[in-house]
């Protein structure tokens, strides 16, 4: 048995491109998650982080398709499961929390009934048993007046409460892994703080592993144990939270951290990353960040940088970095 | 043409908003009778001096967007005064309002829905110049569009393209170029960088500071994001349920917030310092509805320092040295002068 709950190896997911070639929007992504660990997948829009998550659940929208690679959950090969078996894994062993709770809840069904339905889909229990479990879940995610909220419709609830319902639903089947895609991005900052602290408490109480997908490095610092930074379909840096945030090895990670306005001094220009993420058809041949990198070398344009180790747990794909073997 | 022809008296701020109220009726029943009001903006004062940035900050539903739109009368306010360049915009007849508003332009959050998808960039930017008769002829206006595009760090030949051919950051630059085309003195920026990725956001923020320096523009920067405020604004108004609860210079506000709500907002921002983790969630619950705001201090239902008095008595903005706070706690140790 491996020490990892989830092992993703060389995952490639592509979409039809402009010509006959398919654009590999996820291009050789590898990472592992231990049981009870929070791994953050960070990057800007269009870097492939959400498609990576959808690939793990085998929910990549057509005409996108997983081309190659392997995904092992508890040693089980996710990519070769039959469709009915995959359906059992989804929502049972792995569940997902989406960014927009309003669009993921059914507006015409009471929220309690939606959670009951999710429980009964995966477990053979009576409605009564499922309902009392739902009440427990509502208490667990600290919904005020949980008995009353069971019968509320989604539009009765605020954004923060809806996100708590989504979390309750994700926990309903006691999954080993929760994929949380921008779980607090749509929320106000005070509500975000509440949800982040709830997620951390629950994750510690239940020892659930979490794949956290976000563009917000502050959220990452709050929740993550380890960080994978993605740029243009590839992971460019991976390491423990402290290593990556305190000692970023890749120029892209450094750029992301420095362009946070909270760090800028009023009156001085903010550090910016020039240009923008190119479209997949225009991704450079060598290092994909070379068109925006302030430390670019000749070799970067022609050769894909290999992974260089900075420590046992921290590695960076950059030509300018000296490995410490 | 705008800078010199200012009608603002010396010492008078460019924009002075006092007691602004915008209420929306709640209608109910078969006859759609008005049964109450959503007090979206309920007595707001804002002062913006020429060339400076004032931020209006708050969470969703606090009324910051409605306030920004009401002062330009994109939404008609119920009462108040909005002195802009020496004239009260709320008293102007529609015809004169149109000209008065030329020098106060708005930039919206979502550039995709605020740029007409069927017009080329040239026509989007030149539209305002056409209607205000800026530039002698079409050729001169086109030339000016080219200048504006370069000013916002796009290329002159982008003018023949359509909005969908641009990225979010580029579209926001087009929105800014359009606002600049009529030579404004004030830009009302409503969540103008909120939808952008952090690296692109940094580019647009840098562009905004550059433009402010070169063109002496004043900004009313409406946002929910306090970290952007710290970087950009000189003064900050924090709004909660339709009212300003604290007003201070950005430096003082971040160093020593007075109102419990401001303190909570600041401590809820996640840090990227790996040694600082664990957010303060000192106040719980959600923002109450502004159709039925709590009695007394509107924040008392969430305030960690609530006193009996706060539940019944409404605090006024208390004048402290160079700043204001709408909280009874600020009365102690202050000069204790209450402003009505």
**pLDDT of amino acid B8:** 66
CATH code assigned at B243? 3.40.50.300
Same domain, B177 and B195: no
Residues B201 and B163 in one domain: no
Residue B8 lies in a domain: yes
Asked if B228 lies within 8 A of A261 by C-beta distance, the reply is yes
Domain count, chain B: 2
Task: Kindly state the percentage of chain B with pLDDT values over 90.
Answer: 65
Q: Is the pLDDT of residue B337 over 50?
A: no
Name the pTM for this structure.
0.88
- Preferred mutation among A185, A189, A218 to probe B, highest tally of B CBs within 10 A: A189
Residues of chain A above pLDDT 90, percent: 64
B246 domain residue, yes or no: yes
The pLDDT of B99-122, averaged and rounded, is 89
**Distance (Å, rounded) from C-alpha B84 to C-alpha A3?**
66
Task: Find all residues with CB under 8 Å of B237, minimum gap 6, and list them.
Answer: B44, B46, B54, B55, B56, B57, B244, B246, B247
- B227 falls within a domain: yes
Instruction: Check pLDDT > 60 for residue A153.
Output: yes
CA of A56 vs chain B CAs: smallest distance (Å): 25
Instruction: Identify the closest residue of chain A to B278 by CA–CA distance.
Output: A222
- Does one domain contain both B308 and B224? yes
CA A302 to CA A234: how far, in whole Å?
Answer: 16
Which residue among B159, B183, B207 closes a domain? B183
Which pLDDT does position B277 carry in this prediction?
85
Same domain, B206 and B325: yes
Span B58-71, mean pLDDT? 91
- For residues B141 and B241, state if they share a domain: no
B205 touching chain A per CB within 8 A: yes
Binned at pLDDT 50, 70 and 90, residue A123 comes out as: confident
What is the distance between the alpha carbons of residues B280 and A308, in angstroms, rounded to a whole number? 38
B35 touches chain A (CB under 8 A): no
User: For residue B337, is it within any domain?
Assistant: no
Least CA distance to B289: which residue of chain A?
A158
Instruction: Tell whether B39 and B95 lie within a shared domain.
Output: yes
pLDDT beyond 50 at A151: yes
Determine the Cα–Cα distance for residues B157 and B138; give it in Å rounded to an integer: 16
Residue B338 falls within a domain, yes or no?
A: no
* pLDDT value at residue B173: 94
Is residue B78 pLDDT above 60, yes or no?
A: yes
Q: What is the pLDDT of residue B1?
A: 42
In a domain, B340, yes or no: no
Q: Check whether residue B270 and residue B307 sit in a common domain.
A: yes
List pLDDT tens digits, range A211-262. Answer: 999 999 999 999 999 999 999 999 999 999 999 999 999 999 999 999 888 7
Residues B141 and B214 in one domain: no
Q: What is the DSSP letter of B158?
A: G
When comparing pLDDT for B84 and B7, which is higher?
B84
Output the average pLDDT for chain B.
Answer: 89
Closest CA to A36 of A189, A161, A162, A211: A211
End-to-end Cα spacing for chain B: 39
Nearest to A5 by CA among A68, A93, A84, A67: A93
pLDDT 10s digits, B169-213: 899 999 999 999 999 999 999 999 988 888 889 999 999 999 999
Q: Do B199 and A260 touch (CB under 8 A)?
A: no
Cβ of A193 within 8 Å of Cβ of B281? The answer is: yes
pLDDT digits (tens, 9 = 90+) for B255-275: 999 999 999 999 888 888 888
The answer to whether B281 contacts A219, with C-beta atoms less than 8 Å apart, is no
Which pLDDT does position A122 carry in this prediction? 85
User: What percentage of chain B exceeds 70 in pLDDT?
Assistant: 94
- Pairwise CA distance, residues B234 & A215, whole Å: 28
pLDDT at B64: 93
- B112 close to A (CB below 8 A): no
Residue A53 CB coordination number (10 Å): 21
Regarding whether B129 and B108 lie in a shared domain, the answer is: no
**What count of Cα atoms within 13 Å lies in the side-chain half-sphere of residue A101?**
26
Position B48 in a domain? yes
| Residue where a domain terminates, one of B138, B160, B183 | B183
Query: What's the pLDDT at B61?
Result: 84
In this prediction, residue B339 has a pLDDT band, given cuts at 50, 70 and 90, of very low
On whether the CB atoms of residues A286 and A317 are closer than 8 A, the answer is: no
Query: What residues 142-171 of chain B have any CB closer than 8 A to a CB of chain A?
Result: 167, 169
| B168 and B308 share one domain | no
Are B318 and B289 in contact, with CB atoms under 8 Å apart?
no
Q: Could you tell me if residue B276 is inside a domain?
A: yes
Q: Name the A residues in 125-164 with CB < 8 Å from any B CB.
A: 144, 158-161
Whether residue B80 is found in the same domain as residue B223: yes
Residue at a domain's end among B183, B210, B231: B183
The residue that leads in pLDDT, A22 or B312, is B312
The answer to whether residues B214 and B274 belong to one domain is yes
Assess whether pLDDT exceeds 70 at residue B336.
no
Domain holding B253, by residue range, is 4-27+34-116+185-332
pLDDT of the residue at B223? 93
Quote the CA–CA distance of A298 and A320 in Å, as a whole number: 11
Which pLDDT band, with edges at 50, 70 and 90, does B310 fall under?
A: very high
Is the pLDDT at B59 greater than 70? The verdict is yes
Question: What ipTM was estimated for this complex?
Answer: 0.82
Q: Quick one: tokens of A98? A: 């989406």
Residue B185, number of CB atoms within 10 A of its CB:
23
pLDDT in tens, B19-40: 999 999 888 888 888 888 889 9
């Amino acid at each position: 048995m491996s020490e990892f709950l989830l092992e993703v190896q060389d995952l490639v997911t592509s979409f039809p491109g402009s010509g006959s070639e398919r654009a590999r929007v996820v291009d050789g992504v590898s990472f592992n998650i231990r049981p009870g660990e929070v791994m953050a997948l960070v990057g800007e829009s269009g870097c492939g982080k959400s498609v990576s998550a959808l690939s793990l659940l085998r929910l990549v929208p057509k005409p996108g398709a997983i081309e190659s690679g392997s995904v092992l959950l508890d040693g089980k090969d996710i990519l070769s499961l039959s469709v009915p078996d995959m359906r059992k894994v989804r929502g049972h062993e792995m569940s997902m929390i989406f960014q927009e709770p309003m669009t993921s809840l059914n507006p015409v069904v009471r929220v309690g009934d939606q959670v009951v339905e999710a429980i009964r889909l995966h477990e053979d229990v009576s409605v009564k048993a499922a309902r009392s479990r739902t009440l427990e879940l509502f208490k667990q995610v600290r919904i005020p007046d949980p008995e009353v909220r069971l019968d509320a419709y989604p539009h009765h609830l605020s954004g923060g409460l809806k996100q708590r319902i989504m979390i309750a639903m994700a926990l309903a089947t006691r999954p080993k892994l929760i994929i949380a895609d921008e779980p607090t991005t749509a929320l106000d900052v005070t509500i975000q703080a509440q949800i982040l602290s709830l997620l951390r408490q629950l994750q510690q109480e239940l020892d659930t592993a979490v794949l956290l997908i976000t563009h917000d490095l502050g959220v990452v610092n709050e929740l993550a144990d380890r960080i994978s930074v993605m740029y243009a379909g590839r992971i460019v840096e991976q390491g423990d939270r402290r290593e990556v945030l305190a000692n970023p090895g890749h120029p892209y990670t450094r750029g992301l951290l420095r362009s946070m306005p909270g760090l800028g001094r009023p009156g001085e220009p903010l550090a910016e990353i020039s240009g923008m993420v190119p479209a997949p058809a225009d991704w450079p041949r060598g290092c994909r960040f070379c068109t925006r990198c302030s430390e670019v070398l000749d070799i970067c344009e022609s050769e894909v940088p290999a992974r260089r180790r900075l420590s046992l747990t921290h590695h960076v794909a950059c030509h300018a970095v000296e490995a410490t073997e | 043409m705008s800078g010199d022809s200012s009608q603002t008296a010396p010492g008078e701020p460019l924009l002075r908003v006092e007691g602004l109220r915008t209420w929306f009726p709640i209608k109910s029943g078969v006859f759609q009778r008005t049964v109450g009001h959503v007090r979206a903006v309920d007595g707001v004062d804002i002062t913006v001096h020429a060339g400076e940035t004032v931020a209006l900050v708050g969470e969703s539903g606090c009324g910051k967007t409605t306030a920004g739109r009401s002062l330009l009368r994109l939404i008609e306010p119920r009462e108040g005064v909005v002195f802009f360049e020496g004239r009260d915009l709320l008293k102007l007849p529609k015809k004169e309002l149109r000209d008065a508003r030329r020098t106060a332009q708005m930039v919206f959050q979502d550039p995709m829905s605020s740029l007409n998808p069927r017009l080329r960039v040239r026509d989007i930017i030149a539209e305002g110049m056409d209607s205000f008769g800026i530039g002698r002829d079409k050729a001169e206006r086109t030339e000016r569009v080219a200048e504006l595009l370069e000013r916002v760090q796009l290329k002159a030949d982008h003018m023949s393209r359509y909005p969908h051919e641009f990225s979010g950051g580029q579209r926001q630059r087009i929105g800014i170029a359009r606002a600049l085309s009529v030579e404004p003195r004030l830009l009302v920026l409503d969540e103008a960088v909120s939808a952008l990725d952090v690296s692109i956001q940094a580019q647009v923020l840098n562009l905004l500071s550059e433009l402010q320096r070169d063109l002496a523009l004043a900004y009313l920067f409406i946002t929910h994001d306090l970290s952007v405020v710290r970087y950009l604004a000189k003064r900050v108004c924090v709004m909660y349920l339709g009212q300003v609860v604290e007003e201070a210079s950005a430096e003082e506000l971040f160093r020593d917030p007075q109102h419990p709500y401001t303190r909570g907002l600041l401590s809820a921002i996640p840090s990227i310092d790996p040694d600082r983790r664990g957010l303060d969630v000192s106040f719980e619950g959600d923002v109450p509805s502004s159709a039925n705001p709590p009695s007394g201090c509107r924040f008392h239902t969430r305030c960690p320092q609530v006193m009996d008095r706060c539940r019944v008595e409404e605090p006024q903005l208390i004048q402290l040295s160079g700043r204001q706070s709408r909280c009874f706690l600020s009365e102690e140790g202050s000069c204790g002068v209450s402003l009505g």
